[in-house]
């Protein structure tokens, strides 16, 4: 088995009332104003042709098999104000 490292960095413009909150496990999530929380994590997309439409798997076993391959995940959130 070989390793595949994937680094994902997103920059989003979000409403001013979104806040960062700490979880009991020491991670961060985004608190939305409608009493919901947002965590951005990887979700694999699949296609039968790389030029066609990509979609998530309808088969939970495929998704679980993929997620079982993830050894670690690190997501950092930071608000940047100008």
Asked if the model's pLDDT at residue 82 lies above 80, the reply is no
45-57: pLDDT as tens digits: 888 898 989 998 8
Beta bridge partners of 30: 20, 38
Which letter does DSSP use for residue 64 in this model?
H
Q: How far is CA 6 from CA 9, 43, 71, 73, in A?
A: 10, 12, 12, 10
pTM score of the predicted model: 0.65
Question: What was the pLDDT predicted at 15?
Answer: 93
pLDDT band per the 50, 70, 90 thresholds, residue 6:
confident
29-38: pLDDT as tens digits: 999 998 899 9
């Amino acid at each position: 088995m070989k390793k595949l490292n994937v680094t994902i960095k997103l920059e989003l413009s979000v409403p001013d009332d979104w806040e960062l909150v700490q979880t009991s496990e020491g991670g961060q999530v985004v608190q939305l104003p409608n009493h919901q929380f947002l965590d951005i994590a990887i979700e694999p997309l699949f296609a039968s042709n790389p030029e066609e439409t990509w979609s998530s798997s309808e088969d939970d076993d495929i998704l679980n098999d993929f997620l079982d391959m993830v050894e670690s995940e690190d997501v950092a959130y930071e608000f940047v104000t100008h």
